[in-house]
Amino acid sequence: MNITDVRVRYIANQNKMKAVVSVTFDDMFVVHDIKVIEGQNGVFIAMPSRRVGEGDFRDIAHPINAAARAILQDAILKAYEESKPEEFEATEEAEATEEVVEEE
C-alpha cells in the first residue's frame, strides 16, 4: 500500500496541536484527522481516536507495526515541513525565542 496524497491543515492557535492531516492510500482509501503534535522531543503524529468509557481513547485507524508507523510518520512530517505557511513558521520561531528567554 502506497501513500499517494498527504493534505495538511495548519492550526494557528498556540497549543501543542500544530496541524490536522488527511492521508490517502493508493488513491482509494483516506484516513482523516491525524494530528501533528509538538512534544518535548519534537513533533510526532497521533492517529484519529474516539472516547470509550470515561477518559479512555481508542484509535480508530492505526499502523499495525513500527515499520508502517515510521513510513506514515515520515510522509506526514515531510509534508508538514514542506508546506508550512510563512506566518506559521514566524509564530513558531517567536515561540522558540520566548522559551529560550524563559529558560535563562
Please write the tens of the pLDDT for every residue from 72-103: 999 999 999 998 877 665 455 545 444 444 44
Residue 70 corresponds to which cell in the numbers above?
515510521
Total count of domains within the chain: 1
pTM: 0.77
Tell me the per-residue pLDDT of 33-64, one tens digit each, with 9 for 90 and over: 999 999 999 999 999 999 988 888 899 999 99
CATH number for the domain spanning 67: value is: 3.30.1120.40
Based on the number of CB atoms within 10 Å of its own CB, is 103 exposed (0-12), middle (13-18) or buried (19 or more)? exposed
Give me the domain span that covers residue 29. Answer: 3-103
Q: How far, in Å, are 71, 87, 100 from residue 3 at the CA level?
A: 9, 28, 37
